[in-house]
Amino acid sequence: MQDPHAPHDAFVERLEEKIGREVRRRNTLAESRRWLPQWSLKPALGITALVIVSMVIGGAVVAAAYEAQSSEQRDQVAAGYERRAVLARDRLALAEQQLKTAEGQVAVGLGTQDAVFDARVKLAEAQSSLKVLALQLEEIRLTSREPVAEVSSPLVSGRDFVSERWGVEMSVPMAGLAAEQARVRSAEQRVQLGVIDPTEVDLAKARVIEMQTGIEAFQRKIDIRQRFLKGEYAAPMADLQVLLANAEQRRKALLPMLQLAEKTAAQLDERFKMGLVTAVQRGEAQLKVLQLRMELVDLEVQVAVVQKQIGQRRIK
Protein backbone atom coordinates (compact mmCIF):
# COMPACT_ATOMS: atom_id res chain seq x y z
CA MET A 1 0.00 0.00 0.00
CA GLN A 2 1.44 3.42 -0.97
CA ASP A 3 2.24 5.93 1.78
CA PRO A 4 -0.35 8.73 1.53
CA HIS A 5 2.37 11.33 2.35
CA ALA A 6 4.73 10.09 -0.42
CA PRO A 7 4.54 12.01 -3.72
CA HIS A 8 2.83 10.35 -6.67
CA ASP A 9 4.93 9.37 -9.64
CA ALA A 10 2.97 11.68 -11.90
CA PHE A 11 3.60 14.62 -9.58
CA VAL A 12 7.31 13.85 -9.48
CA GLU A 13 7.49 13.71 -13.25
CA ARG A 14 5.66 17.01 -13.66
CA LEU A 15 7.92 18.65 -11.02
CA GLU A 16 11.06 17.36 -12.73
CA GLU A 17 9.78 18.66 -16.08
CA LYS A 18 8.96 22.06 -14.58
CA ILE A 19 12.34 22.32 -12.89
CA GLY A 20 14.06 21.29 -16.12
CA ARG A 21 12.22 23.96 -18.12
CA GLU A 22 13.18 26.60 -15.53
CA VAL A 23 16.83 25.50 -15.58
CA ARG A 24 16.91 25.57 -19.40
CA ARG A 25 15.25 29.03 -19.42
CA ARG A 26 17.76 30.47 -16.97
CA ASN A 27 20.68 28.93 -18.81
CA THR A 28 19.39 30.37 -22.08
CA LEU A 29 18.95 33.80 -20.46
CA ALA A 30 22.40 33.68 -18.93
CA GLU A 31 23.87 32.69 -22.27
CA SER A 32 22.12 35.56 -24.05
CA ARG A 33 23.25 38.04 -21.42
CA ARG A 34 26.80 36.81 -21.76
CA TRP A 35 26.75 37.59 -25.46
CA LEU A 36 24.66 40.75 -25.33
CA PRO A 37 27.45 43.11 -24.11
CA GLN A 38 29.78 41.83 -26.79
CA TRP A 39 27.13 42.49 -29.39
CA SER A 40 26.12 46.03 -28.11
CA LEU A 41 29.49 47.30 -26.80
CA LYS A 42 31.08 47.86 -30.20
CA PRO A 43 28.31 50.14 -31.53
CA ALA A 44 28.19 51.93 -28.20
CA LEU A 45 31.92 52.52 -28.20
CA GLY A 46 31.71 53.66 -31.80
CA ILE A 47 28.96 56.14 -31.01
CA THR A 48 30.83 57.42 -27.95
CA ALA A 49 34.01 57.85 -29.94
CA LEU A 50 32.10 59.68 -32.64
CA VAL A 51 30.59 62.03 -30.06
CA ILE A 52 33.97 62.70 -28.48
CA VAL A 53 35.61 63.34 -31.84
CA SER A 54 32.76 65.63 -32.82
CA MET A 55 33.11 67.55 -29.56
CA VAL A 56 36.86 67.90 -30.04
CA ILE A 57 36.48 69.04 -33.62
CA GLY A 58 33.67 71.41 -32.66
CA GLY A 59 35.70 72.83 -29.79
CA ALA A 60 38.69 73.30 -32.03
CA VAL A 61 36.53 75.05 -34.62
CA VAL A 62 35.02 77.34 -31.98
CA ALA A 63 38.45 78.06 -30.48
CA ALA A 64 39.88 78.80 -33.92
CA ALA A 65 36.94 81.05 -34.76
CA TYR A 66 37.28 82.88 -31.45
CA GLU A 67 41.02 83.28 -31.92
CA ALA A 68 40.49 84.56 -35.44
CA GLN A 69 37.84 87.00 -34.24
CA SER A 70 40.07 88.13 -31.36
CA SER A 71 43.01 88.56 -33.72
CA GLU A 72 40.88 90.51 -36.19
CA GLN A 73 39.56 92.76 -33.42
CA ARG A 74 43.09 93.33 -32.13
CA ASP A 75 44.31 94.24 -35.61
CA GLN A 76 41.43 96.66 -36.15
CA VAL A 77 41.96 98.42 -32.81
CA ALA A 78 45.73 98.48 -33.28
CA ALA A 79 45.39 99.91 -36.78
CA GLY A 80 43.55 102.94 -35.41
CA TYR A 81 46.23 103.61 -32.83
CA GLU A 82 48.99 103.07 -35.36
CA ARG A 83 47.45 105.80 -37.52
CA ARG A 84 47.42 108.06 -34.48
CA ALA A 85 51.06 107.21 -33.87
CA VAL A 86 51.94 108.28 -37.42
CA LEU A 87 50.32 111.66 -36.79
CA ALA A 88 52.01 111.89 -33.40
CA ARG A 89 55.41 111.34 -35.01
CA ASP A 90 54.65 114.09 -37.50
CA ARG A 91 53.67 116.45 -34.66
CA LEU A 92 56.85 115.55 -32.82
CA ALA A 93 58.99 116.34 -35.86
CA LEU A 94 57.14 119.65 -36.26
CA ALA A 95 57.58 120.50 -32.56
CA GLU A 96 61.31 119.78 -32.78
CA GLN A 97 61.62 122.06 -35.79
CA GLN A 98 59.61 124.82 -34.10
CA LEU A 99 61.90 124.70 -31.05
CA LYS A 100 65.00 124.93 -33.23
CA THR A 101 63.48 127.86 -35.09
CA ALA A 102 62.55 129.69 -31.87
CA GLU A 103 66.01 129.15 -30.37
CA GLY A 104 67.65 130.26 -33.62
CA GLN A 105 65.60 133.45 -33.73
CA VAL A 106 66.54 134.27 -30.14
CA ALA A 107 70.19 133.68 -30.97
CA VAL A 108 70.10 136.32 -33.70
CA GLY A 109 67.93 138.70 -31.72
CA LEU A 110 64.75 138.20 -33.74
CA GLY A 111 62.72 136.12 -31.32
CA THR A 112 61.64 136.09 -27.67
CA GLN A 113 62.31 133.70 -24.81
CA ASP A 114 58.55 133.26 -24.37
CA ALA A 115 58.41 131.62 -27.78
CA VAL A 116 61.18 129.26 -26.73
CA PHE A 117 59.35 128.38 -23.49
CA ASP A 118 56.15 127.65 -25.41
CA ALA A 119 58.01 125.54 -27.97
CA ARG A 120 59.61 123.44 -25.23
CA VAL A 121 56.22 122.69 -23.69
CA LYS A 122 54.78 121.74 -27.09
CA LEU A 123 57.75 119.44 -27.65
CA ALA A 124 57.14 117.76 -24.29
CA GLU A 125 53.46 117.31 -25.19
CA ALA A 126 54.35 115.72 -28.54
CA GLN A 127 56.90 113.39 -26.95
CA SER A 128 54.42 112.37 -24.25
CA SER A 129 51.67 111.73 -26.79
CA LEU A 130 53.87 109.42 -28.85
CA LYS A 131 55.08 107.48 -25.80
CA VAL A 132 51.54 107.04 -24.52
CA LEU A 133 50.44 105.72 -27.90
CA ALA A 134 53.32 103.23 -27.86
CA LEU A 135 52.18 101.96 -24.46
CA GLN A 136 48.60 101.74 -25.66
CA LEU A 137 49.65 99.67 -28.67
CA GLU A 138 51.55 97.29 -26.39
CA GLU A 139 48.44 96.86 -24.26
CA ILE A 140 46.24 96.28 -27.31
CA ARG A 141 48.53 93.52 -28.57
CA LEU A 142 48.24 91.78 -25.20
CA THR A 143 44.51 92.22 -24.65
CA SER A 144 42.99 92.58 -28.16
CA ARG A 145 40.83 95.47 -26.92
CA GLU A 146 40.90 99.20 -26.28
CA PRO A 147 43.35 100.32 -23.56
CA VAL A 148 41.84 101.08 -20.16
CA ALA A 149 42.83 104.05 -18.03
CA GLU A 150 40.72 103.72 -14.87
CA VAL A 151 42.54 103.62 -11.55
CA SER A 152 40.77 100.33 -10.80
CA SER A 153 41.78 98.63 -14.05
CA PRO A 154 43.48 95.23 -13.65
CA LEU A 155 47.10 94.54 -14.49
CA VAL A 156 47.81 93.28 -17.99
CA SER A 157 50.12 90.26 -17.97
CA GLY A 158 51.47 91.55 -14.67
CA ARG A 159 52.17 95.01 -16.09
CA ASP A 160 50.69 98.28 -14.80
CA PHE A 161 50.04 100.21 -17.99
CA VAL A 162 47.86 102.75 -16.16
CA SER A 163 50.69 103.95 -13.89
CA GLU A 164 53.16 103.85 -16.77
CA ARG A 165 50.98 106.15 -18.87
CA TRP A 166 50.39 108.52 -15.98
CA GLY A 167 54.15 108.68 -15.44
CA VAL A 168 54.63 109.63 -19.08
CA GLU A 169 51.80 112.18 -19.02
CA MET A 170 53.29 113.76 -15.90
CA SER A 171 56.30 114.79 -17.98
CA VAL A 172 54.15 117.49 -19.61
CA PRO A 173 53.45 119.55 -16.46
CA MET A 174 57.05 118.92 -15.41
CA ALA A 175 58.25 120.51 -18.65
CA GLY A 176 55.66 123.24 -18.18
CA LEU A 177 56.93 123.90 -14.66
CA ALA A 178 60.50 124.33 -15.87
CA ALA A 179 59.29 126.67 -18.63
CA GLU A 180 57.13 128.76 -16.32
CA GLN A 181 59.87 129.08 -13.71
CA ALA A 182 62.19 130.34 -16.43
CA ARG A 183 59.41 132.66 -17.60
CA VAL A 184 59.10 134.10 -14.07
CA ARG A 185 62.82 134.88 -13.95
CA SER A 186 62.72 136.45 -17.40
CA ALA A 187 59.61 138.49 -16.55
CA GLU A 188 61.12 139.77 -13.31
CA GLN A 189 64.20 140.96 -15.20
CA ARG A 190 62.10 142.75 -17.79
CA VAL A 191 59.95 144.36 -15.09
CA GLN A 192 63.11 145.75 -13.52
CA LEU A 193 64.06 147.16 -16.88
CA GLY A 194 60.60 148.67 -17.21
CA VAL A 195 59.87 146.74 -20.39
CA ILE A 196 56.71 144.89 -19.29
CA ASP A 197 53.88 145.26 -16.78
CA PRO A 198 54.37 143.62 -13.35
CA THR A 199 51.18 141.62 -13.90
CA GLU A 200 53.18 139.46 -16.31
CA VAL A 201 55.17 138.21 -13.33
CA ASP A 202 51.98 137.42 -11.43
CA LEU A 203 50.64 135.54 -14.45
CA ALA A 204 53.81 133.47 -14.75
CA LYS A 205 53.70 132.66 -11.02
CA ALA A 206 50.08 131.54 -11.34
CA ARG A 207 51.13 129.22 -14.13
CA VAL A 208 53.92 127.84 -11.96
CA ILE A 209 51.36 126.90 -9.32
CA GLU A 210 49.16 125.32 -11.97
CA MET A 211 52.03 123.14 -13.19
CA GLN A 212 53.00 122.21 -9.64
CA THR A 213 49.47 121.13 -8.77
CA GLY A 214 49.30 119.15 -12.01
CA ILE A 215 52.41 117.20 -11.02
CA GLU A 216 51.02 116.65 -7.52
CA ALA A 217 47.75 115.33 -8.99
CA PHE A 218 49.59 112.74 -11.09
CA GLN A 219 51.67 111.70 -8.10
CA ARG A 220 48.52 111.30 -6.00
CA LYS A 221 46.81 109.24 -8.69
CA ILE A 222 49.80 106.94 -9.05
CA ASP A 223 49.85 106.48 -5.26
CA ILE A 224 46.10 105.72 -5.25
CA ARG A 225 46.68 103.21 -8.04
CA GLN A 226 49.38 101.43 -6.06
CA ARG A 227 47.19 101.30 -2.97
CA PHE A 228 44.39 99.80 -5.04
CA LEU A 229 46.71 97.13 -6.43
CA LYS A 230 47.85 96.30 -2.89
CA GLY A 231 44.24 95.88 -1.81
CA GLU A 232 44.18 98.94 0.44
CA TYR A 233 41.41 100.52 -1.65
CA ALA A 234 38.39 98.85 -3.20
CA ALA A 235 37.60 99.91 -6.76
CA PRO A 236 34.81 102.41 -5.82
CA MET A 237 37.01 104.03 -3.17
CA ALA A 238 39.94 104.31 -5.57
CA ASP A 239 37.72 105.95 -8.18
CA LEU A 240 36.45 108.47 -5.61
CA GLN A 241 40.00 109.25 -4.46
CA VAL A 242 41.01 110.06 -8.05
CA LEU A 243 37.96 112.30 -8.48
CA LEU A 244 38.93 114.11 -5.30
CA ALA A 245 42.55 114.49 -6.41
CA ASN A 246 41.50 115.98 -9.76
CA ALA A 247 39.00 118.39 -8.19
CA GLU A 248 41.42 119.56 -5.51
CA GLN A 249 44.18 120.01 -8.07
CA ARG A 250 41.96 122.18 -10.23
CA ARG A 251 40.76 124.19 -7.25
CA LYS A 252 44.30 124.80 -6.04
CA ALA A 253 45.38 125.94 -9.50
CA LEU A 254 42.31 128.15 -9.91
CA LEU A 255 42.78 130.24 -6.76
CA PRO A 256 45.87 132.21 -7.93
CA MET A 257 44.27 132.63 -11.36
CA LEU A 258 41.16 134.13 -9.74
CA GLN A 259 43.26 136.44 -7.59
CA LEU A 260 45.15 137.62 -10.66
CA ALA A 261 41.91 138.13 -12.59
CA GLU A 262 40.44 140.18 -9.73
CA LYS A 263 43.60 142.29 -9.55
CA THR A 264 43.56 142.86 -13.31
CA ALA A 265 39.85 143.76 -13.27
CA ALA A 266 40.42 146.29 -10.49
CA GLN A 267 43.27 147.89 -12.41
CA LEU A 268 41.22 148.12 -15.60
CA ASP A 269 38.33 149.62 -13.67
CA GLU A 270 40.60 152.41 -12.43
CA ARG A 271 41.98 152.96 -15.92
CA PHE A 272 38.47 153.04 -17.32
CA LYS A 273 37.58 155.83 -14.92
CA MET A 274 40.58 157.75 -16.21
CA GLY A 275 39.55 157.06 -19.78
CA LEU A 276 42.57 154.91 -20.53
CA VAL A 277 40.68 151.72 -21.47
CA THR A 278 37.36 151.02 -23.11
CA ALA A 279 34.20 149.68 -21.51
CA VAL A 280 34.64 146.50 -23.52
CA GLN A 281 38.06 145.85 -22.00
CA ARG A 282 36.74 146.47 -18.50
CA GLY A 283 33.72 144.25 -19.17
CA GLU A 284 35.86 141.39 -20.46
CA ALA A 285 38.01 141.51 -17.32
CA GLN A 286 34.94 141.48 -15.08
CA LEU A 287 33.43 138.59 -17.06
CA LYS A 288 36.59 136.55 -16.61
CA VAL A 289 36.42 137.10 -12.86
CA LEU A 290 32.81 135.96 -12.83
CA GLN A 291 33.60 132.83 -14.84
CA LEU A 292 36.47 131.86 -12.57
CA ARG A 293 34.34 132.41 -9.45
CA MET A 294 31.60 130.20 -10.85
CA GLU A 295 34.10 127.50 -11.73
CA LEU A 296 35.56 127.70 -8.23
CA VAL A 297 32.10 127.31 -6.68
CA ASP A 298 31.49 124.23 -8.85
CA LEU A 299 34.79 122.76 -7.73
CA GLU A 300 33.98 123.42 -4.08
CA VAL A 301 30.72 121.54 -4.52
CA GLN A 302 32.48 118.66 -6.26
CA VAL A 303 35.06 118.39 -3.49
CA ALA A 304 32.38 118.45 -0.79
CA VAL A 305 30.27 115.78 -2.53
CA VAL A 306 33.20 113.43 -3.13
CA GLN A 307 34.49 113.88 0.42
CA LYS A 308 31.03 113.00 1.74
CA GLN A 309 30.90 109.85 -0.40
CA ILE A 310 34.37 108.84 0.78
CA GLY A 311 33.31 109.36 4.39
CA GLN A 312 30.21 107.21 3.89
CA ARG A 313 32.24 104.37 2.41
CA ARG A 314 34.73 104.48 5.26
CA ILE A 315 31.87 104.14 7.77
CA LYS A 316 30.60 101.05 5.93
- CA–CA distance, 311 with 267 (Å, rounded to integer): 43
User: Over the stretch 21-46, which tens digit does the pLDDT of each residue have?
Assistant: 654 555 544 444 443 344 344 444 45
CB atoms within 10 A of CB 212: 19
pLDDT at 268: 93
One-letter amino acid for residue 285 of the chain: A
Question: Mean pLDDT, to the nearest integer, of 115-121?
Answer: 94
Q: Is the pTM of this model over 0.75?
A: no
Mean pLDDT, all residues of the chain:
83
> Maximum distance among all alpha carbons in the chain?
164
pLDDT of 281 strictly over 90: yes
- Listed in sequence order, the residues at least 6 apart from 306 whose beta carbon sits closer than 8 Å to its beta carbon are 240, 243, 244, 247
In terms of pLDDT, which residue wins out, 169 or 21? 169
Question: Mean pLDDT, to the nearest integer, of 37-65?
Answer: 45
Question: Mean pLDDT, to the nearest integer, of 60-65?
Answer: 41
pLDDT of 225 strictly over 90: yes
Sequence ranges of the domains in the chain: 234-316
Q: 143 burial class (0-12, 13-18, 19+ CB within 10 angstroms)?
A: middle
- CA–CA distance, 241 with 233 (Å, rounded to integer): 9
- CA–CA distance, 302 with 244 (Å, rounded to integer): 8
pLDDT at 198: 85
User: Over the stretch 11-25, which tens digit does the pLDDT of each residue have?
Assistant: 545 655 655 565 455
Residues paired with residue 223 on neighbouring β-strands, in sequence order = none
> CB of 306 within 8 A of CB of 243?
yes
113-143 vs 9-107: helix crossing angle, rounded to 10 = 170
